[in-house]
Amino acid sequence: MLESSPIIQENSPVFIKLPSENIRFVTLKPNNTISLGKFGSFCTDDLFGKTYDETFEIYEPKKIRVLKTREVQSLEEENKTNKELMDCRSNQLMSQDEIEELRKQIKEGGLRGEEAIRQLTSKSLTFDQKTQYAQAKYVNRKGEKYLQQFRALRPCLETVTEYMLDHDQYKIMELTADCSTYMMTLGNAQPGGRYLVVDETGCLFLGSLLERLGGDCKVTLVHPNEQPNSSCLELWGKEYTEESLVEKGILRTLNWLQVIGPEEALKDMHVDDCTEEELNEMKLRHKKRYESRKASYARLQSSLEDFEKGNFDALFVLSNHTPMSVLNLLLPKIGSSRPVLVYSPYQQVLVDTHHELFKWSNPCEVTETNNEDITNDESSEKHELQDTQNAWVEKLIMLDIHEIRTRPYQVLPERTHPFMSIRGDMGYVLSGLKVLSSVCTVAAGRFPKRQKQGAGNKKKANTRV
Under rule CB under 8 A, residue 406 binds its own copies: no
By C-alpha distance, which of 67, 356, 377, 319 is closest to 196? 319
* Helical spans, DSSP H, in 214-271: 242-247, 256-260, 262-269
Task: Mention every residue, 6+ apart, whose C-beta is less than 8 A from residue 7.
Answer: 49, 50, 51, 52
Minimal distance in Å, beta carbon 174 to its own copies? 18
By C-alpha distance, which of 396, 390, 393, 389 is closest to 337? 396
Q: How many CB atoms lie within 10 A of CB 414?
A: 6
**Nearer Cβ to its own copies (363/418):** 418
Which one of residues 46, 100, 144, 352 is an interface residue with another protein (CB under 8 A)?
352
- Distance of alpha carbon 27 from alpha carbon 4, whole angstroms: 15
- Phi, psi (degrees; rounded to nearest 5) at 13: -85, 145
Q: Candidates 10-18, 273-281, 300-308, 325-333: pick the segment binding another protein (CB under 8 A).
A: 325-333
Beta bridge partners of 251: 219
Which one of residues 18, 147, 233, 326 is an interface residue with another protein (CB under 8 A)?
326
Under rule CB under 8 A, residue 362 binds another protein: no
Under rule CB under 8 A, residue 280 binds its own copies: no
Q: Candidates 17-25, 94-102, 230-238, 273-281: pick the segment binding another protein (CB under 8 A).
A: 94-102
Which one of residues 122, 348, 371, 379 is an interface residue with its own copies (CB under 8 A)?
348
Residues contacting another protein: total by CB under 8 A:
143
Angle at 315 between CA 361 and CA 346, to 5 degrees: 85
Which one of residues 20, 25, 171, 224 is an interface residue with another protein (CB under 8 A)?
224
Residues 351-380 that bind its own copies (CB under 8 A): 351
Under rule CB under 8 A, residue 32 binds another protein: no
Q: Candidates 120-128, 136-144, 228-236, 281-289: pick the segment binding another protein (CB under 8 A).
A: 120-128
Roughly what angle, to the nearest 10 degrees, separates helices 157-168 and 177-186? 130
- Distance of alpha carbon 431 from alpha carbon 344, whole angstroms: 12
Minimal distance in Å, beta carbon 124 to another protein? 4
Which one of residues 28, 67, 318, 341 is an interface residue with another protein (CB under 8 A)?
67
**Nearer Cβ to another protein (109/413):** 413
- Phi, psi (degrees; rounded to nearest 5) at 402: -115, 140
From the list another protein, its own copies, none, pick the one residue 234 interacts with, judged by a Cβ distance below 5 to 8 Å according to partner type.
none
- For its own copies, the binding residues (CB under 8 A) are 347-348, 351
